[in-house]
Amino acid sequence: MRVLAQDGNVAVVQLPQRSSPALSVQGDSLSMLVKLAGSVAAQAARTGDADLIDDAEELRERLSDMLRVYESTLRPRGLPLPY
């Protein structure tokens, strides 16, 4: 893996098997994004706008899935969660 750029809690990395670079986000930052997406989804639910509700829920679910991968990687290795 090559680090192409780093800015604060975010890095752009290049995995050898991938043609496009990826974005690396710190776990605590990802956790905050999941919480924010949950708040947006809750607010969207109050609007009654079905498309907005679906999009907000999908965003929350995708970010939550990423956080689950992060957590399930750290736990077996005995690494503490930063949040």
SS3 for the chain is CEEEEEECCEEEEECCCCCCCEEEECHHHHHHHHHHHHHHHHHHHCCCCHHHHHHHHHHHHHHHHHHHHHHHHHHHHCCCCCC
Domain locations in the chain as residue ranges: 2-77
Condensed to tens digits (0 to 9), the pLDDT of residues 21-41 reads: 999 999 999 999 999 999 999
DSSP 81: P
Q: pLDDT-based confidence at 9, cuts 50/70/90?
A: confident
Quote the percentage of the chain above a pLDDT of 90: 98
**For residue 76, which amino acid is it?**
P
